[in-house]
Amino acid sequence: MENLDYYDEFNNYIGTTSREEVHKLGLWHNTVHCWLYDSNGNIYFQIRKDANKLYTTASGHVLAGETIKQGFGREIKEELGVNIDYENATLVDVVIWKMDKVKKDGTIFIDRAFANVYVYELKEDLIYNFDETEVIGLVKVNAVDTLEIFKLETGSVDGTVIDSDNNKINRKIDFNEFLVNEHETAYNKYKDVLNKVIELTK
């Protein structure tokens, strides 16, 4: 069973309970959105298997007793199969996330999360071992160019796809390939992390 620490709405620790209970009762908890980038201003999006869309490099819940950065390192290891020096990750923002969703069985999934957004600079190429139940591959794109198509809500950018065999395929990445939920825009969803990568790699 996966246990999570839970908090009040001001992020004051209250206690620990199961992940199931957290979402059944709508308890506030921590998640981490993990982003990798390189010194050339490129950022890595994960190709999610469930949606076949581009999203964070990795993401998930912060487990009971973990620090946010430990959660960052664990999610990268679990989803991408690589170890990183996660203590050197840089905070971008903590986003307040609220969502209620009716599940297939009729129960309501209540999400109340502090989404901790962090970036980490890759110093070298890595050999990935993707969790193929979740991840199809990675896509590397330039942060400046990607921000521009998000502003326009159309177009494409040059990208490099890294597949499950670690092959690198260069191709155009279309705006519509990025994951955007209903009532969101790509620009508002991703602009803070893209701007942070741009700032760090000037």
Question: Which CATH number fits the domain that encloses residue 54?
Answer: 3.90.79.10
Q: Which of 38, 12, 39 is nearest to 27 (CA)?
A: 12
pLDDT tens-place string over residues 87-119? 999 999 999 999 898 878 878 889 999 999 999
Kindly state the average pLDDT of the residues 68-89.
97
- Domain enclosing residue 173, as ranges: 3-200
Given this model, what pLDDT does residue 191 score? 97
pLDDT at 182 over 90: no
Task: Tell me the pTM.
Answer: 0.94
Given this model, what pLDDT does residue 96 score? 94
pLDDT at 126 over 90: yes
* Residue 199: strand, helix, or coil: helix
Contact status, residue 146 vs residue 157, Cβ threshold 8 Å: yes
pLDDT tens-place string over residues 135-169? 999 999 999 999 999 999 999 999 999 999 999 99
The separation between CA 193 and the C-alpha centre of its own chain, rounded to angstroms, equals: 10
pLDDT tens-place string over residues 15-71? 999 999 999 999 999 999 999 999 999 999 999 999 999 999 999 999 999 999 999
Distance (Å) of CA 73 to CA 1, 28, 52, 97, 182: 20, 22, 24, 22, 29
Count of domains for the chain: 1
Given this model, what pLDDT does residue 194 score? 98
